[in-house]
Amino acid sequence: MSYNLVLQEEAILDLQEAFEWYEKQRKGLGYELIEEIEIASEKLVKHPENYTYINHKYRRIRINRFPYVVVYELESDRVIINSVLHMKQKPKH
């Protein structure tokens, strides 16, 4: 079964902030982060149940090369990405 991917507004804002920070560090690095997020998203829509629970509702998948996790939940046929967090940040959920 393939799931539909939904990005919450908070996740989009998290991504924009991280993208801008990495672009300031080195031109093109923000795009590399987005690429890794896309790879993780492809994994999520195929097998969202394979990743670690944070609590009874939310799960996470770690991003390669960058210290970020994608926090998401499953709702029928949808994977809802709630936030994209730096691993040193306190979870919002």
Full pLDDT tens readout for the chain, 93 residues: 789 999 999 999 999 999 999 999 999 999 999 999 999 999 999 999 999 999 999 999 999 999 999 999 999 999 999 999 998 865 555
pLDDT of residue 90: 58
What is the predicted pLDDT for the residue at 56?
Answer: 93
Residue ranges of domains in the chain: 4-86
- The confidence score (pLDDT) of residue 65 equals 96
Domain boundaries 4-86, corresponding CATH code: 3.30.2310.20
76: which residues sit within 8 A by CB, 6+ positions away? none
Measured distance CA(57)–CA(65) in Å, rounded: 26
Contact (CB, 8 A) for 80 and 45:
no
- Give CA–CA dist 23/32, Å, rounded: 10
